[in-house]
Amino acid sequence: MNQELPGTLLLDPKVIQDPYPFYRQLQSHAPVWRVPGTEVFVVSSYALLTEAAGRVEDFSSNMLCLLYRDERGLPSRLPFDDSSIQALATADPPVHTVHKRTVFPEFVARRMALLEPEIVELATRCVERALDNRTVDFMAEIGNLIPITIISRLIGFRNSDLDRLLRAAFDSTSLVGSTLSRQQLLELVTRSNDIGAWIAEQLAVAVSEPSEDILSSIGSGVKTGALSARDGIVILQTLLAAGGESTTSLLGNAVRLLADDQDLQRRLRRQPELIPAFVEEALRLESPFRSMLRSVPKDTTLGGVDIPAGATVMMFWGAGNRDPAEFENPDEIVLDRPRRHLTFGRGIHFCVGAPLARLEARIVLTTLLERTSVVVLDPDQPPEWVESLQVRRHQRLSMQLAPR
């Protein structure tokens, strides 16, 4: 049956725009699918994603390569020439355990919650400014601005240039988007070194003048030797991308789902206490990180499929979240559905930023719904998706907002 699915489907631009019929095909024919002609395997069923996420010895988070679209239209691997990167999200135990303890001490969770008034203020300012115009690109005016501002505050960057940080966050996820040509990917790798140098300077300042933020936790980890300086920089880059880009996608995806459904909009205006449940459905239906990579250190099997040592596995969280074997009416918004989506991953790497992402989404949606009577898509400019196998984010989301 595998043979019936051409490998080029994975990176077909039309499939990337609307991947859900393809995910369904994979789930029914090949929930562990070896992309023909490659060493790349795609996992798409909820049950097998959950299993693989728990088998960390077989499915390692170490990043050994990046993927690009080769001239055949298939995913090819660009191996790292020095060593693999093992830093927090890309580390396995026991290194992962040390990194997580060092970077996220108790106070980080507290600080996330304390950011609430700041997020409310920022969301109010952005929404009110957007209302001056009636037609706005939600991403440019609201969606892109809030998460990068907040993550920069949480990390503790000093004198941040937010535009530059946002570009760096988007670049980081383009690196793992798997749709660039080899040449484009190599150029991007070079460009990403710039922000690494700036982050190194920030880390040096935090080592000499610590305060209560993530930058200082990492600085003290470097000082005690729990982390190398390179680990610290990679972790900060990951946090910037994870915190800056993913929530951006969530905000846009949620607002687009709302714009598509006027009944739901009216219901949430009447019953704002349902907004958190809607955020969960937006997370499930349009998972901001649709897939993530694993590497395979030794021969193994998953779902009865042999996977050789050295293979690269793509964990398609976004497919598992619409698996009909797990979710009844998987393509519909059901507000009282039990919360068990895979959007924030599973197991030891479960997202540490999930409470912050949920908080930002709840505040932005509440603010927008409170201040508008109608939110609709701009009929002249349909939404555009970023072309990526990893992120599900609107490049542009032009909308018309009617104030209350």
- When asked if residue 247 is in the footprint of ligand HEM (CB under 6 A), the reply is yes
Which window, 67-75, 189-197, 286-294, 299-307, contacts ligand HEM (CB under 6 A)? 286-294
Region of residue 152 (phi > 0: left; psi between -120 and 50: alpha; otherwise: beta):
alpha
Instruction: Lay out the site mask for ligand HEM across 34-73 (x = CB under 6 A, - = otherwise).
Output: ---------------------------x------------
Pull the structure tokens for residue 346: 């599973």
Smallest gap, in angstroms, from Cβ of residue 187 to ligand HEM? 26
State how far the Cα of 313 lies from the Cα of 310, in Å rounded to an integer.
10
Minimum separation from the CB atom of position 24 to ligand HEM (A): 21
Residue 232 or 288: the one with the smaller Cβ distance to ligand HEM is 288
Nearest approach, Cβ of residue 238 and ligand HEM (Å): 6
Instruction: Name the amino acid, one letter, at 132.
Output: D
Q: Does 352 bind ligand HEM (CB under 6 A)?
A: yes
The residue within the footprint of ligand HEM, chosen from 76, 174, 343, 372 (CB under 6 A), is 343
* One of 246, 253, 300, 312 touching ligand HEM (CB under 6 A): 246
Shortest Å distance, C-beta 196 to ligand HEM: 17
Looking at residues 71 to 100 of the shown chain, list those that interact with ligand HEM (rule: CB under 6 A).
Answer: 88-89, 100
Strand partners, 314: 42, 293
394 near ligand HEM (CB under 6 A): no
Count Cβ atoms below 10 Å from residue 86 Cβ, excluding itself: 18
Which of 7, 288 has the CB closer to ligand HEM? 288
**What binding mask, one character per residue, do residues 216-245 give for ligand HEM by CB under 6 A, x or -?**
----------------------xx--xx--
Residue 345 binds to ligand HEM (criterion: CB under 6 A): yes
Write out the binding residues for ligand HEM, residues 127-146 only, by CB under 6 A.
Answer: none
The answer to whether residue 206 forms part of the interface with ligand HEM (CB under 6 A) is: no
Considering CB under 6 A, how many residues would be counted as binding ligand HEM? 26
Q: Shortest gap between Cβ of 154 and ligand HEM (angstroms)?
A: 6
Using CB under 6 A, which of 177, 219, 221, 353 touches ligand HEM?
A: 353
Q: Which token pair is 148?
A: 């990068």
Return left, alpha or beta for 160; rule: phi > 0 is left, psi -120 to 50 is alpha, else beta.
beta
Residue with smaller CB distance to ligand HEM, 108 or 207 = 108
Pinpoint the alpha helices (H) of 57-178. Answer: 95-103, 106-114, 116-131, 138, 145-155, 162-175
DSSP characters over 290-320: --EEEE-SS-EEETTEEE-TT-EEEE-HHHH
**Cis omega (within 30 of 0) on the bond before 13?**
no
Spatial contact of 361 and 90, defined as CB atoms under 8 Å apart: no
Q: Is 289 in the site for ligand HEM (CB under 6 A)?
A: yes
291 near ligand HEM (CB under 6 A): no
Nearest-CA neighbor of 132 among 396, 313, 309, 372? 372
Compute the distance between CA of residue 65 and CA of residue 61 in angstroms, rounded to an integer: 11
Q: 2 or 238, CB closer to ligand HEM?
A: 238
- CA atoms within a 13 Å half-sphere pointing along the CA-CB vector of 142: 35
What is the per-residue burial (b if ≥16 Cβ within 10 Å, else e) of 116-146?
eeebeebbeebbeebbeeeebbbbebbbbbb
Q: Which residue is nearest to ligand HEM (CB)?
A: 353
Residue span binding ligand HEM (CB under 6 A) among the ranges 26-34, 64-72, 197-205, 284-292: 284-292
Output DSSP code: residue 140. I
State in angstroms the smallest separation of the CB of 53 from ligand HEM.
6
Beta-carbon contacts of 362 under 8 Å, excluding residues fewer than 6 positions away, are 275, 276, 279
Q: Which of 218, 356, 359, 389 binds ligand HEM (CB under 6 A)?
A: 356
Nearest to 335 by CA among 390, 272, 387, 385: 272
* Binding flag, residue 351, ligand HEM (CB under 6 A): yes
- Contact criterion met (CB below 8 Å) for 269 and 278: no
Q: Binding residues for ligand HEM, per CB under 6 A?
A: 61, 88-89, 100, 151, 154, 238-239, 242-243, 246-247, 250, 288-289, 292, 317, 343-345, 349, 351-353, 356-357
